[in-house]
Amino acid sequence: MPYKVTLIPGDGIGPEVVESTRRVLAVLGIEFDWEIGIVGEAAQQQFGTPLPDKVLESIKKNKVALKGPVTTPIGTGFRSVNVALRQRLDLYACLRPCKTYPGIHTPFQNVDIVVVRENTEDLYSGIEFARGSSESEKLRELITKSGYKPVREDSGFSIKFISETGSRRIVKFAFEYARANRRKKVTAVHKANIMKFTDGLFLSVAREVAKEYADIEFEDVVVDAACMRLVKNPKLFDVMVLPNLYGDIVSDLCAGLVGGLGVAPGANMGDNMAIFEPTHGSAPKYRGQNKINPMAMMLSAKMMLLYLGEKQAAERLEKAVADVIAEGKKLTYDLKPDPSEPAATTSEVADAVIEKLKK
């Protein structure tokens, strides 16, 4: 029986990395029945909504999706489809492994960090009140009545909330992941010294949950110090668990440590379904140029294979990607130490990975 998987090509560079990945998956000997889902600007034009119900239903039914990045209009227009998918399907855990593959030119070798980002709360809630709106006015009044220093009249508001429930399940997810993958340490990252009722809550729940996992070391670090330590000595970290916004920023930082967004895969996971997508966005300026690195998407597909229980195929795919990196002949521009060196195209990288798989 083929695996039924929802396939979201996305936009910008999305269709290129998704197609390369689909070609690579096709030679692994595992059959897929892809159900295509159109979202974002194309869906807005075709169906009048950037996230059609049909796509949500398809993911709910198949329980697994492979997704390319989707552009979010800045400042105006529809809100992020990527965030909406995570929220609507309650995919509360974003899993982003960042590991150096031999052959990648980076000042750091042997980095192997797994970022676990909370996906449904925090400043990503999308709850916002525009400058000058009646809601902003009411909020300003409430703030003043509550004894805080008045907020300027010309302010907009973005709401940050963090719950005990949300914190507990993401920290548990991080510890369960650590245990299942023989990891030694979980680091909770926060700014509890400043945001006592949100990050403070996250931290106190993390400390409580940590007591249930005596076999795994636990530490907590404030987010600014965590960034400094990551850049100074990334080997200090193993599994990191973070509220949504810090998780977003720190996962790009970690991607930078291991060679960049071109090799940073990811997954958004709920209790019984998951969407696999790279950390990177739709990089619109490279759209249609056959130039960008498809490896992050391929490594996301590797995570999907693991999720489907196809461990051997997952290992073969990762090894093929790692071999292409180690060989250094077919690498896209982002992995070239000297930008003036000729680089491989997206499709040439896919061909090189396929060649390795066929050996």
User: Does the active-site annotation cover 248?
Assistant: yes
User: Does the active-site annotation cover 323?
Assistant: no
For strand 274-276 and strand 64-67, is the pairing parallel, antiparallel, or unpaired? parallel
* Nearest by Cα to 165 from 115, 120, 213, 219: 120
**What does the binding site for ligand NAD look like in residue numbers (CB under 6 A)?**
69-72, 82, 261-262, 277, 280-283, 285, 292-293, 296, 334
User: Does the active-site annotation cover 285?
Assistant: no
What one-character DSSP code corresponds to residue 290? S
What one-character DSSP code corresponds to residue 289? S
d(CA 54, CA 160) in angstroms, rounded, equals 30
Which is the catalytic residue, given 122, 199, 238, 248? Answer: 248
As measured in angstroms, the least distance from the Cβ of 249 to ligand NAD is 12
Which is the catalytic residue, given 33, 53, 148, 224? Answer: 224
Residue nearest to ligand NAD (CB): 281
∠ CA 134-140-143 to the nearest 5 degrees?
A: 145
Q: Provide the CA 264 distance to its chain's centre, in angstroms.
A: 8
As measured in angstroms, the least distance from the Cβ of 70 to ligand NAD is 4
Give 43's contacts (C-beta < 8 A, 6+ positions apart).
49, 50, 51, 52, 55
As measured in angstroms, the least distance from the Cβ of 53 to ligand NAD is 19
| Lookup: tokens for 201 | 């809550």
As measured in angstroms, the least distance from the Cβ of 73 to ligand NAD is 7
User: Does the active-site annotation cover 191?
Assistant: yes
Please say which residue, 21 or 187, places its beta carbon nearer to ligand NAD. 21
| Amino acid identity, position 213 | Y
Active-site positions? 124, 191, 224, 248
